[in-house]
Structure 1
Amino acid sequence: MNWRPISLKELNNIIETSVTVMDTEVLCFWNSIKIVPEKRQVPSYSNEDYFWIVGKIKNYIIYYNDIEEGFNISLENNLSHIEVTSSEQDELHFALIKLLKNYEI
């Protein structure tokens, strides 16, 4: 089976599914940080790989790693790429809870 990048439509479907299970606190937080998804380069993979950033707050971003099929948290840098990548396979609401509970935002 060959990997192919996720489409914006597929990403939006994943986000919509996750929103349905969010409690009030997480949903309010999500609504305050979500952005129109934008692709960012991931230098730690290759020059041709991009992940979708879906949320921003202060100097943190939430992005979807479609190779690992999960949402992750990273610091945002001034360059137009994702600086630190991880391979968590979190659903969106779990990544949001981690951001709320474990980061100084």
Structure 2
Amino acid sequence: MSNWKPITKPHLEGIIEIAEFNMSFVERNLWNQIKLNKLEKWTQYPFGEEGNGFWVVAIIGKRCLYYNDIEDGFNLSNFEVWGEIVEYYSNQTDLLSFLQSVFFRGI
């Protein structure tokens, strides 16, 4: 039996707020262009079922940036239908490190 519980929206908003505080002007500008104004919980089968999905925080084209609260990190997945995460990833990357590595280092 696991003691894991899904992250609450206010807790995730706090994580994002800390990351935003530490962003440079360029990072903040990029973040403001891709972030959702309101976090959305999207489904992901089968790993997201226990927590009723994962919180999506940003959209980049046909990809969604979501917080995997099982692994405590941000991940990027394709999506075909709004509200459904296609791929499950288990990165344990914080938001600022994710933005820096994906968008500013070309990884």
Q: Same fold (TM over 0.5)?
A: yes
Distance between the aligned counterparts of 2:49 and 2:84, measured in 1? 10
Give the 3-state SS of the residue equivalent to 1:15 in structure 2: helix
Structure 1 residue 47: Cα displacement = 3.3
Q: Which residue number in structure 2 is paired with residue 22 of structure 1?
A: 23
TM-score (norm 2): 0.85
Q: Is 1:37 the counterpart of 2:73 in the alignment?
A: no
Q: Pick from 63, 75, 85 the counterpart of residue 60 of structure 1.
A: 63
TM-score (norm 1): 0.87
Gaps of 5+ in 1: none
Q: Contact conserved, 1:73 with 1:95, CA < 8 A, in 2? A: no
Q: Contact conserved, 1:40 with 1:52, CA < 8 A, in 2? A: yes
Gaps of 5+ in 2: none
**Aligned Cα root-mean-square deviation (Å):** 1.8
Identity %: 34
Distance between the aligned counterparts of 2:80 and 2:92, measured in 1? 23
| Poorly superposed stretches of 4+, deviation over 4 Å | none
Letter in 2 for 1:60: R
1:82-101 CA-partner distances (Å, limit 9, x unpaired): 10111111111122223324
Give the 3-state SS of the residue equivalent to 1:9 in structure 2: helix
Q: Contact conserved, 1:41 with 1:48, CA < 8 A, in 2? A: no
Report 1:1-105 matches (<5 A).
Answer: 2-35=3-36, 36-45=38-47, 47-49=49-51, 50-78=53-81, 80-101=83-104, 102=106
Letter in 1 for 2:57: V
Letter in 2 for 1:61: C
